[in-house]
Amino acid sequence: MVNVTKILYPTDFSDPSACALLYAAEMAKKFNAELIMLHVLLDESQMVSFYLPQLTVKNLSKDMEDGAKAKMEEFIEETNALEGIEYSTAMVKGIADDEIIKFANEKNVDMIVLGTHGRTGLEHVIFGSTAEKVVRSASCPVLTVHCPNSD
C-alpha cells in the first residue's frame, strides 16, 4: 500500500494554482496526510539590482515577502478546502522549480501537487514550465493539475 504522510503544494496564488489546491486538499484528506503549502519568492539576485540602489532592492524584497505572506493568508481564507486538514505554510527564495525540489527533498514529502499554466509556443520554448521541470526532477510522485479554465 502507498503511504502518503506529507504532501507538498507549491503555489503562486494563480487561478490554476487555486484549482490544484482542491486536489491537494482532497489527497491530504484521503491519506490523512499533512499538507505543506509553499510559495517561492524571487531572491535579490533575480531582481534587476543594477538599475536600483541596493537599499531600494532590499526594501522591495521585504515588501514582496510581506505581500506574499498576506496573499497566502488571503488564499487560505478564500477556500474551504483546508477544513479538517493539518497544514502548514512556508516561503523560500530562489528559482521556483529548484526550490520546490530542494524543499521536497529536505522535508521528505511523499507527493507534490501543483497546477500547470499551460504555456505554449515561444513562451514555453524560452521559459519552459515549472511543473514540467518539477516532474522531471522530483524524487517523489508529482500530480500536475490542469484546470480547464486556466488557459
Per-residue pLDDT tens digits for 57-109: 566 677 778 888 888 888 888 888 888 899 999 999 998 899 999 999 999 99
Give residue 88's region: left, alpha or beta (phi > 0; psi -120 to 50).
Answer: beta
Q: Are 75 and 18 in contact (CB under 8 A)?
A: yes
Q: Which alpha helices (H) appear in the chain, and where do they start and end?
A: 15-31, 54-77, 96-106, 121-127, 130-137
The residue behind cell 497544514 is 87
Share of the chain above pLDDT 90, in %: 44
CB 28 within 8 A of CB 87: yes
Q: Name the residue with cell 510581506.
A: 66
SS3 category, 79: coil
Domain boundaries, the chain: 6-145
The pLDDT score that the predictor gives to residue 68 is 87
Distance CA 147, CA 151 (A): 8
Confidence at residue 23, expressed as pLDDT on a 0 to 100 scale: 94
Q: What predicted TM-score, i.e. pTM, was given to this entire model?
A: 0.82
User: Hey, what CATH topology would domain 6-145 get?
Assistant: Rossmann fold (3.40.50)
Q: What is the pLDDT of residues 95-132, one digit of tens each?
A: 889 999 999 999 999 999 998 875 455 444 444 588 88
Burial per residue of 27-60, b for 16 or more beta-carbon CB atoms within 10 angstroms, e otherwise: bbeebebbbbbbbbbeeeeebeeeeeeeeebeee
Give how far the C-alpha of residue 24 lies from the chain's centroid of Cα atoms, to the nearest Å. Answer: 11
